[in-house]
Amino acid sequence: MVSERILIVDDDLQVRYTCAQMLRKYNYHVDEIDNGFDALNKLRTEQYNLVITDLKMNKVDGLELIKKSKEIFSDLPFILITAYGTMDTAIQALRLGVYDFIIKPFTMDEFITTVNRCIEFHKLKQETLSLKETAALYELLHSVEKHKIEKEVLQKILEKALELISGNSGSIMLFNEDTNKLELVTHIGLKEQITREVSPGERVSGYVFNQREPMIINGELTNYPQFKYIESRPEIVSSISIPLISGNKVVGVMNINRIKPSAYKFTDIELNKIHFFISYVTNVIIQCQLYKKLINLDKLKSEFIANVNHELKTPLMVILGAIKLYDESNDAEREKLYVLLKKNVERMNLLITELLDYSNIETGKMVYKFKRVKLNNYIKKVVNEYKPKFASKKIEFKIHIPDTPIFINADIKRIQQCISNLLSNAIKFTKENGKVELTVEKSQDNVIISVEDNGKGIHKSEHNKIFDRFYQVDGSPTREHSGLGLGLTITKSIIESHNGKIWVESDLGHGSKFTISLPLDKAQKGE
Ligand code: ADP
């Protein structure tokens, strides 16, 4: 347990020492000062729960010390020790907000009772204040629409946190699972050029995020070995960084600073004070994030249904039209109609197969027939099917498949389907005269198959999402490219069922590289 901190200010060494020792026996942390001037300076750099001061002192007397301190720390409770128990002093002291006064000479019992009472009273007052603030915040959080969490609510949360422990600048960073980065979502009192994004482990926020423990930082960052290479912000006197944790999930980090001219350092007392508040708001943040995800999924589903409708109706319309025209057409026309029919029936077949595959994956009914196979020729077969498609879009198609045999244990039709999915996306998202390269390489334990294009590319924030069901970077009904947003979901599931991995490297406007890694069949490892 953190002990309460008391400052005793008295120029009478004997009285001061006796009182301090007595309080220490009661487990209080006590600092002693013999004049009002130094006491004021001490109060500026450290936090106390109570100040006990003598009235009559040189330089700055007790009443003046109380007056000056109250201008800065209005909440700080004082007990005045006085030998001049006149009504005048008592009234002045009470007007200044002194909790109580003790008249010399006093017994130690009297002294301790007054101190304990004051500390208890102050604690209760603080708790009532915290409860009031929390209740106000609760009302606020429940009155706003949950999906607005990022902007309005987080700003209010930060404001409250700063108020609660007298911080004068701060920020909230939330972890973005799509980019694996902590992103700045709101800040108060900080310069515009502050760091907006850090990786876990990076800088103070990233460190606290990884450690899952709050931290008080006083003075230069270079004093801390883990932050030796981070440039300090000279205006910050003291700061608290707290991970936002709920259960075993860390959703972000809150930073609270005291900046100059405040010279007042954060202590464990304030850290404890903010703890309850933080755990409450973290739960609310998580609830809001879940709500947002649900809304997004709902939107994706609606788009998906509209897309299925559109994707199936288009070839169907062509098929019905072609059948109608067929009877009245001559041989040359019939040949053209036949090509059209074949293409659109194939398109429908592909779409329906994709839907069925997805449904089987979702319900756990996908069946795999594993067999030891030599991969090389199976990939060449897929490649040969695709050569004319690339040629007709004038896309240069480069192929690197080694001659050394590559054996894997797989349902080879499914692996071919995955490669076909990647190639078909590469054609779809690469413009005419572009370039696509398929490379197959053998490493010690795996075969690595990559499909690289110089097409439109994918923004980093979308990299995880594109493997999610129904997700398309542009899923709007007016989108340029066809598709159901299931290809990569199915591909990932197939690859993972083969104990393999799939990942993407890409950036918007700079092409994409999809890579599949599959374990080699044990019989040939180290060949
Ligand atoms: P579909 O292609 O049917 O929309 P996928 O699951 O195969 O569904 O792909 C999901 C999304 O990922 C695509 O809609 C597209 O936005 C993006 N994507 C996939 N491959 C590429 C690529 N090679 N280049 C750019 N974007 C791609």
As a whole number, mean pLDDT of residues 388-403 equals: 96
Residues 6+ away with beta carbon under 8 Å from 30: 5, 6, 7, 8, 20, 23, 24
Task: Quote the pLDDT of residue 283.
Answer: 78
Residue 486 Cβ < 6 Å to ligand 1 = yes
pLDDT per residue as tens digits for the range 5-19: 999 999 989 989 999
19: part of which helix (H) or strand (E)? helix 13-25
Give residue-wise pLDDT tens across range 241-286. Answer: 999 998 788 999 999 998 887 767 888 878 887 887 888 788 777 7
- β pairing state of 236-246 and 371-374: unpaired
Q: Which atom of ligand 1 lies closest to the CA of 455?
A: 24
- pLDDT tens digits, one per residue of 168-202: 899 999 998 878 899 998 999 887 667 788 999 99
CA-421 nearest atom, ligand 1: 7
Task: Calculate how far, in angstroms, residue 271's C-alpha sits from the geometric centre of ligand 1.
Answer: 47
Domains annotated for the chain, with CATH where assigned, are 5-129 (3.40.50.2300), 144-294 (3.30.450.40), 371-525 (3.30.565.10)
Atom of ligand 1 lying closest to residue 475 CA: 14
- Output the CA 472–ligand 1 centroid distance in Å: 6
Question: Could you tell which of 471, 472, 490, 491 is best to mutate to test the pocket of ligand 1, judged by most ligand atoms within 8 Å of the CB?
Answer: 472
For the chain, give the mean pLDDT: 87
Above 90 in pLDDT, residue 60? no
Q: Can you tell me the mean pLDDT for 371-392?
A: 96
| Ligand 1 atom closest to residue 456's alpha carbon, by position in its atom list | 25
Pocket flag, ligand 1, residue 209 (CB < 6 Å): no
483 ligand 1 Cβ < 6 A:
yes
Predicted local confidence at residue 527, as pLDDT: 43
485 lines ligand 1 (CB under 6 A): yes
Q: Indicate if ligand 1 lies below 6 Å from the C-beta of 453.
A: yes
407 C-alpha to ligand 1 centroid (Å): 29
Question: What distance in Å separates the CA atoms of residue 468 and residue 486, rounded to the nearest whole number?
Answer: 8
Q: How far apart are CA 252 and CA 175, in angstroms?
A: 5
Percent of the chain with pLDDT over 90: 48
Q: Which residues contact 51 (CB under 8 A, 6 or more apart)?
A: 6, 7, 8, 9, 39, 43, 65, 66, 69, 76, 77, 78, 79
Determine the pLDDT at residue 300: 82
Ligand 1 center to 291 CA (angstroms): 26
Ligand 1 pocket residue status of 473, Cβ below 6 Å: yes
More confident residue, 144 or 26: 26
- Is residue 117 pLDDT above 70, yes or no? yes
Strands 50-54 and 5-9: parallel
| Ligand 1 atom nearest 489 alpha carbon | 6
pLDDT score of 86 more than 70: no
Residues 388-415, mean pLDDT to the nearest whole number: 96
Q: Is 137 in the pocket of ligand 1 (CB under 6 A)?
A: no
Q: Where are the alpha helices (DSSP H) in 233-330?
A: 268-326
- Does position 492 have pLDDT exceeding 80, yes or no? yes
Q: How confident is the model at residue 136, as a pLDDT? A: 67
Q: Which of 144, 141, 198 is nearest to 171 (CA)?
A: 198
> Distance, CA 184 to ligand 1 centroid (Å)?
29
* Gap between the Cα atoms of 424 and 417, Å rounded: 10
Q: For residue 29, what are its two tokens?
A: 């942390």
Q: Is 418 exposed, middle or buried (0-12, 13-18, 19+ CB in 10 A)?
A: buried
Q: Using an 8 Å Cβ cutoff, are 170 and 255 in contact?
A: yes
Ligand 1 test: best mutation among 390, 429, 508, most atoms within 8 Å of CB? 429
380-389 average pLDDT score: 96
Supply the residue whose CA is at minimum distance from atom 19 of ligand 1. Answer: 425
Is the CB–ligand 1 distance for residue 243 below 6 Å? Answer: no
